[in-house]
Structure 1
Amino acid sequence: MDTIIGRAIPEHVAQLLTNEIIFGRLAPNARLTEEEVAATYGVSRSPVREGLRLLERDGLVRRSARKGIWVSPLSLRDFDEVYQIRVGLEALAAEGAAQSDAAAAAKLALVSILDRLKTAEDQSDIPALFRADVEASDLIYKLSGNATLQRLLLSLEKQALRYRFFTYSESTKAVKMSLGGSRKIFACIYGGKAKEAHDLTAALIGDIWLTMRPVIAAAFPESE
């Protein structure tokens, strides 16, 4: 794990732990204690306590008086719930982004991200591919101009990112589907084709959902 340099604040602790969880370095159901986290990052227990509360709010950790604190499990049921919501919300974001009258340079950034996605795929660099994909999603959310939609997506994002990274790590088919679909979606957004952007996004996320269901079920059989 990384260490915190400078002033230790709860948000820094939460972000470092979030990265560990999303990238799978802290496994589902892994136990966490304030003492261990504080020692790892070289900080006091107070910001750790607040940081863990932030993670609990985002659904990344759970706690109980009897069991303490642990990384939230992944399960087929949770995966289905997350992707069911993603289909609708992400499609609305793509539609709004295509309708946006934001500067062309902002939309053109999607083309640059697509180049990075292809380079990362060619180099089998899953973390780089994942980061570029997330950057593209964040840009589309902002281009949508819908503050309420952005809040809903951000509230879902942390848990969704865990499944997205797992998907890219485990399935080259899902990676190719994502890149092919993204290329068409980005073109629609840049060209102002709102309905096409909506429909293609819904179809892409739905297809990845169905493709990954058996993989998720096999990897996390103890569904809740």
Structure 2
Amino acid sequence: MLRDSLIDIQVRAMPDQLVQALESAIVFGELPAGTHVVEEEVAERYRVSRSPVREALRRLERDGMLVRDERRGVRVAPISARDLDEIYMCRIPLEGLAAAQAAAMHNPDVIPRLNVCLNDLERCFKSGDIKGYFIANVAFTDLVHNAAANSTLASLLEGIGKRALRYRYFAYSTAPDLVTASVEGSREIVDMISDRNQTGAKKVTEKLIERSWKTIRNLIDA
């Protein structure tokens, strides 16, 4: 979903690629909250016409990453306690349900892939690579969603997940204790899914995300 670096990105035509590039710039703080996003500047930066830029901006508005004001134009959406609360009130039960469903489905192909992601998480954690850790964590979460094998749930989580990305990266980049808890929690989630422990997978997932919510809330309020 996310790109590791935007330095060498050359987007030619496809709105999907442009959305990914701008999404990454917003999540990783290259386009901070409140930044004005001008069609002409984006088109020039990525060497595309304005048509795919307009489409990309519309999609990012829909995903809650951009806001449009008649007087101020398009800008990166602010980070706020209210937005955080609305996202996480929905995200916690849905992520818990996805983890429980993944345990119930117990697809044998999923466990090795989760372990690969877990190894990536631990490697990035040990090396202090926060951006790499975040990208691996998003991949881990997406795998759990896919393992739940519920298209309606996946669709709901995709929308909420995009809105949560900035808050998740903000938390990992400013609260080291949360990264430690995330590594430990991810190990537990893999164990619970492996053991077909639906209740345990749900509980660990919800507890981990609730802790993240509280941590981010404290950082925003500080």
Q: Could you say whether these structures have the same fold, taking a TM-score greater than 0.5 normalized by the shorter chain as the test? A: yes
Secondary structure, counterpart of 1:59 in structure 2: coil
**For residue 207 of structure 1, what is the aligned residue in structure 2?**
211
Contact 2:33 2:77 in 1 (8 A): yes
Q: Report the CA distance shift for 1:217/1:115 in structure 2 as closer, same or farther (over 3 A).
A: same
In structure 2, how many angstroms separate the alpha carbons of the residues matched to 1:173 and 1:101?
A: 31
Partner amino acid, structure 2, of 1:77: R
In structure 2, how many angstroms separate the alpha carbons of the residues matched to 1:105 and 1:197?
A: 18
Kindly indicate whether residue 38 of structure 2 is the aligned counterpart of residue 37 of structure 1: no
Once the two structures are TM-superposed, the CA of residue 3 in structure 1 deviates from its matched residue by 6.0
Q: Which runs of 4+ in 1 moved over 2 A?
A: 1-7
Secondary structure, counterpart of 2:75 in structure 1: strand
TM-score normalised by length of structure 1: 0.92
In structure 2, how many angstroms separate the alpha carbons of the residues matched to 1:65 and 1:18?
A: 22
**For residue 176 of structure 1, what is the aligned residue in structure 2?**
180
Once the two structures are TM-superposed, the CA of residue 105 in structure 1 deviates from its matched residue by 2.8
Once the two structures are TM-superposed, the CA of residue 51 in structure 1 deviates from its matched residue by 1.0
Q: Which runs of 5+ in 1 are unaligned?
A: 219-224
89, 95, 98: which is aligned to 2:103? 98
**For residue 53 of structure 1, what is the aligned residue in structure 2?**
58
Partner amino acid, structure 1, of 2:113: A
**For residue 221 of structure 1, what is the aligned residue in structure 2?**
none
In structure 2, how many angstroms separate the alpha carbons of the residues matched to 1:38 and 1:9?
A: 12
83, 87, 93: which is aligned to 1:88? 93
Question: What are the Cα deviations for residues 2-29 of structure 1, in whole angstroms up to 9, with x where unaligned?
Answer: 5664741222211110110011110001
Contact 2:11 2:46 in 1 (8 A): no
Contact 2:11 2:17 in 1 (8 A): no
Percent identity for Structure 1 against Structure 2: 41
TM-score normalised by length of structure 2: 0.93
**What pairs up with 1:27-176 in 2 under 5 angstroms?**
27-102=32-107, 104-176=108-180
**For residue 10 of structure 1, what is the aligned residue in structure 2?**
15
Partner amino acid, structure 1, of 2:21: L
Partner amino acid, structure 1, of 2:197: K
Q: Report the CA distance shift for 1:171/1:6 in structure 2 as closer, same or farther (over 3 A).
A: closer
In structure 1, how many angstroms separate the alpha carbons of the residues matched to 2:67 and 2:159?
A: 16
Question: What are the Cα deviations for residues 83-114 of structure 1, in whole angstroms up to 9, with x where unaligned?
Answer: 11111000000000001142x23222112211
Q: Which runs of 5+ in 2 are unaligned?
A: 1-5
Secondary structure, counterpart of 2:74 in structure 1: strand
Q: Report the CA distance shift for 1:41/1:97 in structure 2 as closer, same or farther (over 3 A).
A: same
In structure 2, how many angstroms separate the alpha carbons of the residues matched to 1:43 and 1:166?
A: 30
Secondary structure, counterpart of 2:109 in structure 1: helix
